[in-house]
Amino acid sequence: MTDSDPITCHVLNTLTGTPAAGLDCTLTLRSAPFPFSSTTAAAATNSPPTFHATTDTDGRVKVWSPSSSSSITSIRALFASSPLASADISRIQSTWSVHFDVGPWYAERGVECFWPSVEVHFVVQGREGEDGWRHYHIPVLLGPWSYSTYRGS
């Protein structure tokens, strides 16, 4: 097992040219080719699997914590206990989002910000550890008036 989850992010504050440390983030599974809710605690809450983190001093999230209402212990556990564990790898595709609480973060620093939040949606193909798998890294260049993102490595 590696030191980071299969989905990570990195946020840089373009206003100061420094990492965006202390930024609250939420990772959510938006859709999958099977009902995660039938195999997870989401069935009881009727909500998708959700994970939370705060960026570290380098503006990174390497490990996500499951939401407090979930019995899921990690992203890896979610994939291992779901139909992903036995699915045809070539057909696995899920949609995720990372939500960044930008407005409050800039407000704490006394900076006016146009964005109350920024949310990046992306598609994950395959399963960690299988042929063709690439780590999913979501970098964000964040400013109070603009942002950009791309598929990182």
pLDDT score for 74: 79
Higher pLDDT, 94 or 52: 52
The yes-or-no verdict on residue 37 having pLDDT over 50 is: no
Is the residue at 122 inside a domain?
A: yes
Is the residue at 2 inside a domain?
A: no
Question: Confidence class of residue 3 from pLDDT cuts 50, 70 and 90?
Answer: confident
Give kind and range of the element (H or E) at residue 107. helix 102-108
- For residue 11, give its domain range: 7-149
The CA distance from 72 to 121, in Å, is 21
Is the residue at 99 inside a domain?
A: yes
Higher pLDDT, 143 or 76: 143
**3-state SS track over 54-86:** ECCCCCEECCCEECCCCCCCCHHHHHHHCHHHC
Is the residue at 79 inside a domain?
A: yes
What is the number of domains present in the chain? 1
Q: Are 149 and 140 in contact (CB under 8 A)?
A: yes
Is the residue at 104 inside a domain?
A: yes
Nearest to 115 by CA among 129, 126, 124, 104: 104
Give kind and range of the element (H or E) at residue 105. helix 102-108
Is the residue at 133 inside a domain?
A: yes
Is the residue at 60 inside a domain?
A: yes
CATH number for the domain harbouring residue 105? 2.60.40.180
What is the percent of the chain where pLDDT is above 70?
73
Least confident of 30-34, 87-91, 140-144: 87-91
Mean pLDDT computed over every residue of the chain? 82
Rounded average pLDDT over 121-135: 73
